[in-house]
Structure 1
Amino acid sequence: MANPIQLAAPKADFTLTIDGAQALTLDLVGRVTATCGTVEDADHGDTLLVRLGAHTEAAAQRHQPPANVHLVNKWERALRRLERLPVATVAVATGSCHGPSAETLLATDYRIAGTDLRLRLPETGQSTWPGMAIYRLAQQLGVARARQIALFGPELSAWQALELGLVDEVAEDPQTALRAALDNLAGARGRDVAVRRRLLMDAASTDFEEALGPHLAACDRALRRTQVA
């Protein structure tokens, strides 16, 4: 394992931290929205690092439902904005990752889990919260693989999350894994990562004829950029 004294911590262009025990509040919505605004207003930078998780007893407690549906609407819009940013989003999830932090994980591009990760979607009472996390699960995993999580909301270990495809790698040293990920994602903004992400997200709900136009436009843009280079 790398010695943190000898090896500086990897640094992304932008950073967002959400405690794994964080409940859904206006403050949380505001922090996510403000981070998105900073990224969108910048004319450079390729990666947003999203740190998720908690290592306290409070993190093991089940979250209470949000105060009202208007807060939920603001939160869902903030997450939608996050997953449409012009940069690559890299999540590092360690410890307990419950509630809003778990929802945020599903809105990122590349996901690194520590071996101690415990992942659980938001709940209301004894049931999985019927928010857009269920939509993202079905979109990313398919209905068959998402069914047990969406209906019964079990807590998942890092290795279970990896097997399902909810995280991309499990690392004993997340910092080393993050450093490699940031190196691989250098130039993501210039390579139009947002365009490719959007085409991928739309593929499940768009038929071929409707998808062809946007794909051709993206191909034309890529060819023009290649010719200029």
Structure 2
Amino acid sequence: MSEPLKVWEERDGQLLRLRLARPKANIVDAAMIAALAEAFAGAGGEAARKAVLLDHEGPHFSFGASVEEHLPGQCAEMLAGLHALIRRMLDCPLPILVAIRGQCLGGGLEVAAAGDLLFAAPDARLGQPEMQLAVFAPAGSCLLPEKVGPGRAFDMLVSGRSLSGEEAAAAGLVQEVAEDPEAAALAWFDRHLAPKSAAALRYAVQAARMQTVERIKEKLERVERLYLDGLMSTHDAVEGLRAFLEKRPAQWENR
């Protein structure tokens, strides 16, 4: 199997490029999580580097996390890895730009929302559809209220509906809507980050994120326990996941 992530530098080493490289689904599985975690661990290692741009191969950013890895016996390890990645992104000393086309769902949106500025195509679809499988989005429950406010986040997380790129921009989740979101992100970098001091940017990033990061980290630990100790002890959570994998309607017992 090919490597899940492509990594390279642009703009004379000022911009680190990361590209999800398992289209069309770009599933956020253990291999993808590990590759992203390694890339972000080293993102701040070059003094002249000023930003990270995360995008994707294929028509879709990501269909989400691996459903198989959400089943009992695997979900604790999967959540630990994904949430460690989210924390690493939150601690990244560089601005993280994200370019999105097509579907950006579930764990894919959680990864995207851990970035700072999202650029999306008008017809992109951003959502947390986990509730359709009788589970919820732990990281999304922590990240989205910070991005769009508690009311809009509640709507997305509880309904499981997706927003278009235009709707996501109106909600404050997306910075800019563009037919070519990669080009829009690069243009934003060239205009707003490339002329700046890399040293000053790192302090500005830390200052701008400080309280938000503290709130997300504190809540993420509690929400992870709620998921593992509460939700995964219910019949319907396991039934929803298995029904999806077996391609059959779920039989809810409301317990």
When normalised by structure 1's length, the TM-score is 0.73
Equivalent position of 1:190 in the other structure: 199
Larger RCO (CA within 8 A; separation ≥ 6)? 1
Q: Could you tell me how far apart the structure 1 residues matched to 2:136 and 2:210 are?
A: 28
Instruction: Work out whether residues 114 and 171 of structure 1, in 8 Å CA contact, stay in contact via their aligned partners in 2.
Output: yes
Q: CA deviation at 1:185?
A: 1.7
Instruction: Work out whether residues 88 and 188 of structure 1, in 8 Å CA contact, stay in contact via their aligned partners in 2.
Output: no
Q: CA deviation at 1:83?
A: 2.0
- Name the SS of the counterpart of 2:91 in structure 1: coil
Q: Could you tell me how far apart the structure 2 residues matched to 1:62 and 1:199 are?
A: 28
Q: CA deviation at 1:190?
A: 1.9
Q: CA deviation at 1:167?
A: 0.4
Equivalent position of 2:18 in the other structure: 16
Instruction: Work out whether residues 20 and 54 of structure 1, in 8 Å CA contact, stay in contact via their aligned partners in 2.
Output: yes
Is the alpha carbon distance of 1:185 and 1:194 closer, same or farther for their aligned partners in structure 2, counting shifts above 3 Å?
A: same
Q: CA deviation at 1:102?
A: 0.9
Equivalent position of 1:35 in the other structure: 39
Post-superposition CA distance 1:40-61 (Å, at most 9, x none): 32222001001047527xx779
Which of 181, 194, 199 does residue 188 from structure 2 map onto? 181
Equivalent position of 1:215 in the other structure: none
Which of 196, 206, 210 does residue 199 from structure 1 map onto? 210
Q: CA deviation at 1:172?
A: 2.0
| Identity level (%) | 21
More helix by percentage: 2
Q: CA RMSD in A?
A: 2.8
Equivalent position of 2:245 in the other structure: none
Which of 26, 32, 52 does residue 30 from structure 2 map onto? 26
Which amino acid in the other structure matches residue 147 of structure 1? Answer: F
Aligned 1:1-229 pairs, distance under 5 A: 13-18=15-20, 21-52=25-56, 54-55=58-59, 64=67, 66=69, 67-121=74-128, 123=130, 125-127=132-134, 129-183=136-190, 184-186=192-194, 187=196, 189-191=198-200, 192-201=203-212
Which amino acid in the other structure matches residue 193 of structure 1? Answer: A
Q: Could you tell me how far apart the structure 1 residues matched to 2:24 and 2:88 are?
A: 21
Is the alpha carbon distance of 1:123 and 1:133 closer, same or farther for their aligned partners in structure 2, counting shifts above 3 Å?
A: same
Is the alpha carbon distance of 1:175 and 1:74 closer, same or farther for their aligned partners in structure 2, counting shifts above 3 Å?
A: closer
Is the alpha carbon distance of 1:74 and 1:176 closer, same or farther for their aligned partners in structure 2, counting shifts above 3 Å?
A: closer
Q: Give unmatched runs, 5+ long, in structure 2.
A: 1-9, 217-255
Q: Could you tell me how far apart the structure 2 residues matched to 1:64 and 1:182 are?
A: 35
